[in-house]
Structure 1
């Protein structure tokens, strides 16, 4: 049985994982947007979303707007889902994320055996970033309640 991983080791592992997720999102998004800009001339930074006045399928502006809307929605979905998929998939299949592997952190039960997949998913779902987001959300709710009762 190994040693307990301390705060610094776990923090560095999480930073490596976050860096890995951010780079993955950037690479995936670039793989989608760069060919659109190069081959079709559709730059997502300057294009407008679907115009409200024109509904003709032959109108290039309408198609460009539809393409921009679709790619923007896809990019948003990729940005939101990459992190959870990364943590849950790697934790359940290999037992470690890239950051944990690099830092030598392994999640095991007290007796040294592997953790069941369900418990591992719950452990990743209770990730410090998820907990921080929940705390911030509940704090915002409390602030809204206080602001409402102060009137």
Structure 2
């Protein structure tokens, strides 16, 4: 990702973050270029790793996923290769949709999405309990989402 991004590249990224299904014609109109150079810029952004992929933003609740939880995890550093073993094991659990290695009192922050409390219980008691690298965990249930923005703050200083 050594390519320098100009204002048009940043504008393209901003627009694609808001609507990944925008047509190349609409995109070219928005950025003030003809379709061919716009498509070329999008391809360069993809090839240089600035745009990693395109996804549908689905409604978790409409699909029956009613419980969203953040879980702080502290790993047992006395076990050999505990961090890497934890990462490998947690990566195999589908309900863990995001995992961050963080600073502070915990080592990792997980974002977990499950259908209901029973599914959360199964996750904690049957899956997490088998991960010996977990020394401590603390769960925070999401009551409601106040702000969720998939668009990076490109204009923020």
Instruction: Please give the range of the TM-score, normalised by the shorter of the 2 chains.
Output: under 0.3
Greater helix share, structure number:
1
Greater strand share, structure number:
2
TM-score normalized by the length of structure 2: 0.26
TM-score normalized by the length of structure 1: 0.27
**Of the two, which has the highest radius of gyration?**
1
